[in-house]
Chains A and B, each alone.
Chain A
Amino acid sequence: MPTDLASGAACPVPIGDHTHVLLAHGGGGRLTNRLIDSLFLPAFGDSAVHAHHDGAHLHIGGARLAFSTDSYVVRPMFFPGGDIGTLAINGTVNDLAMCGARPQFLSVGFVIEEGLPMESLQRIVASMRTTARAAGVAVVTGDTKVVDRGKGDGVYVNTAGVGLIEHDGLIAPASVRPGDAVLLSGDIGRHGMAVMAAREGLQFESAIESDCAPVAAPVLALLAAGIPVHCLRDLTRGGMASATVEIAETAGLHIRLDEAAIPIREDVRGACEILGFDPLYVANEGRFIAFVPADAADRALEVLRGFEVSRAAALVGMVSDTSRGLVTLKSRIGATRVVDMLSGEQLPRIC
């Protein structure tokens, strides 16, 4: 009996014509967005303004808080440059930082697969402790569940966090203006390629290390220096391309990127060339873009370069109103192309 129809809570809109959830629904590209827009927002979305942002802005009493959550299902659990524990702390810390908030408290939920070596769990917890300390956050509550062997990839971790917003501006795509400069905090593509190489057993000449790191300190320094930050976005799933496309579409503006200005390390470029990946779409865990007025760009870059995590910050593009919801890239040979959001997982090519 379709009782829910009778009660008025209609069946959600079909998600395209997919009868089953695909991996791409979690890939951070078009399908993820469609899932959010057609299923989650209609169900939960009174605060739709921030639906495609990294966290919610809340007013509680006199305080302004940012609240965010993320789940970590990375395989393998340990990879060059980090592990699922460092990811789980830094990921939520960075989501809060992207709201312009000072990260304060985290919760941690573990879903552990029966049979996980205790030593692995100890390593993960130890790196969470170190990472939380470095990021200046306290883990204040948590939960533990164990599932049958074969029902999980060793361990899944969820973290949620709250942070204090101490500035008056609205850091969101809606605040982006024509004439804004697009600043990138460092080289892109390392995390995705490090995990991919570790997962698939790909041997490169040198191990690519994840860029996993907290970015709250440089963000707070930008705000403390009085730089009018219009929008921030960390470049996780879907990478730089998906983040800029999403902001351009939400803001209804045109973002022009300059390929030659985007820093990418040699080893990452090499690995991407071999596999046929575009580094613009590869995930990062310690990189973000900041939109600031052009006349504040030099000062902002100076602030960012004062921190190890954003030492290689660069001006990579400009915002204009020459088109609505568009990202273009000036290629290395001087021609221009459109940058699109990923419509599924990036798949290695045949030849």
Chain B
Amino acid sequence: MRFIDEYRDPDAAAGYARALRRITTRPWTLMEVCGGQTHAIVKFGVDELLPPEVTLVHGPGCPVCVTPLGLIEKAIEIASLPGVIFCSFGDMLRVPGREHDLLTVKARGGDVRIVYSPLDAVALARVHPDREVVFFAVGFETTAPANAMAVYQAARAGLANFSMLVSHVLVPPAMEAILSSPKCRVQGFLAAGHVCTVMGYTEYEPLAARYIVPIVVTGFEPLDILQGVYMCVKQLEEGRAEVENQYARAVRRDGNQPAQQLVREVFRVVPRKWRGVGEIPQSGLALARPYQSFDAGLRFGIAGHTADEPTECCSGLIMQGLMKPRECSAFGTRCTPEHPLGATMVSSEGACAAYYHYRRLDIPRQEAEVATHAD
């Protein structure tokens, strides 16, 4: 498949691995910010190709994982109301609240629907004027423009029965929170390519300068990641700390300006609580004042829940790069995808889910002797 196979080429991957070994002289710890990258790394075994000196730790870039428990509870409460059609991306449905998840609400008769675009939810509101249609707007800068467009269109169409439960988060403040922690062990970042397609990467430049840390905007295919690691290690070895763009086929320095403008029109920047991490200043988006009538929390009069996280869940440490999933004592025993303690175990971008699905069992040696042939 074009634009996919080229980036999964085994010979090119081996070439990058060799080049990386040549330039690496001492230990480095890098963080890939995005959960999509984490999954690609674990699924394709990209980390197995790295020299032993290079350690990848997994960042907070999983929107499902960082959505606070209180907001999940709010979603569950709204979705359980009669007359509500609750729309969400598929990922959110299995995220555990205090007692159950949105799939359970559906099983008990709630009208919970998976949509592929927030505009599908707007369309539902149009054809069901007698129902309240609520969209669960979760995500980073990547999904913010589409969600903003949904509210913008609903406002233009005067759709009074559409609203949005917003839990948007922003990447740079989270990176700054990680860097400013005294326990920080991250020496270089692979920034999330898709976030940068929207936002560009100028906002990372002050971070790189202030914390003297290389930041490489990186894509999601195995070769993207290998090249991103190479560029990052090269900077570290040469004593540089700059923002570089590995994902140039999709990302421009200034990003997608019309999309940014729409986001600024519909949303405003607010402090946001990150599940497992805590509150980070100016790290989230909420509806801007002219669009507040579309705020589902306000519309249904549901106050902020302040649910406590299960104390046993270490997802906060994992998402700050302070721990790896297999180092958690509950991993694979008291915490599994069927009975998760935290969202990192259920989201398709969660680090714990990646390790559970692809690394849970020890793979015996002698794999090299497997000989099959594609005919």
Contact = CB atoms under 8 A, between A and B. Distances in A.
Interface stretch (A5-13, A71-79, A334-342): A334-342
Given A326-B361, A337-B42, A344-B94, A256 B337 contact: no
A332 B363 CA distance: 17
Contacts of A322: 364, 366
A326 B357 CA distance: 12
Contacts of A275: 116
Contact of A328 (B1, B140, B339, B363): B363
Interface in A1-42: 16-17, 20-24, 30-31
Interface string A312-349: 00111110001100101011111111101001100111
| Residue in A30, A347, A350 with the greatest tally of chain B CB atoms within 10 Å | A350
A70 interface: no
A270 B5 CA distance: 11
Contacts of B106: 23
B22 to A, nearest CB: 19
Nearest to A316: B372
B374 A261 contact: yes
Interface stretch (B8-16, B79-87, B261-269, B306-314): B8-16
A266 interface: yes
Nearest to A181: B372
Contact of A337 (B36, B45, B370): B45
A258 B114 CA distance: 33
B44 interface: yes
Given A270-B1, A301-B375, A318-B372, A350 B222 contact: no
A338 B360 contact: yes
B356 A340 contact: yes
A20 B358 contact: no
A22 B104 contact: yes
Contact of B373 (A261, A269, A273, A343): A261
Interface string A93-137: 000000000000000000000000000000000000000000000
A348 B114 contact: yes
B338 interface: yes
Given A30-B338, A337-B43, A314 B374 contact: yes
B256 interface: no
B370 A315 contact: no
Contact of B367 (A22, A256, A350): A256
A347 B93 CA distance: 9
A343 B353 CA distance: 11
- Determine the interface band of chain B, counting residues with CB < 8 A from chain A: 35 or more
A315 B363 CA distance: 22
B179 to A, nearest CB: 24
A331 B140 contact: no
A254 interface: yes
A336 B4 contact: no
A46 interface: no
A136 B8 CA distance: 44
Contact of B139 (A200, A332, A337, A350): A350
B48 interface: yes
A326 to B, nearest CB: 6
B244 interface: no
Interface string B87-111: 0011111100000000110111000
A202 interface: yes
B32 interface: no
B142 interface: yes
Contacts of B372: 256-258, 261, 315-318
Given A326-B361, A350-B89, A276 B8 contact: no
B49 A348 contact: no
B46 A333 contact: yes
A21 B109 CA distance: 12
Nearest to A273: B4
Contact of B374 (A20, A256, A258, A301): A258
B14 A330 contact: no
Contacts of A326: 361, 363
Interface of B: 1, 4, 8-10, 13-14, 36, 42-46, 48-49, 63-64, 89-94, 103-104, 106-108, 114, 116, 138-140, 142-143, 194, 222, 336-339, 348-349, 356-361, 363-364, 366-367, 370-375
17 contacts: A16-B338, A21-B107, A257-B372, A261-B372, A261-B373, A331-B45, A333-B8, A333-B10, A333-B44, A333-B46, A334-B10, A335-B44, A335-B46, A347-B93, A348-B116, A351-B139, A351-B194
User: What 8 A-B pairs are tightest by C-beta distance, nearest first?
Assistant: A335-B45, A347-B90, A261-B374, A343-B337, A258-B372, A337-B358, A348-B90, A333-B13
Interface of A: 16-17, 20-24, 30-31, 200, 202, 254, 256-258, 260-261, 266, 269-270, 273, 275-276, 301, 314-318, 322-323, 326, 328, 330-338, 340, 343-344, 347-351
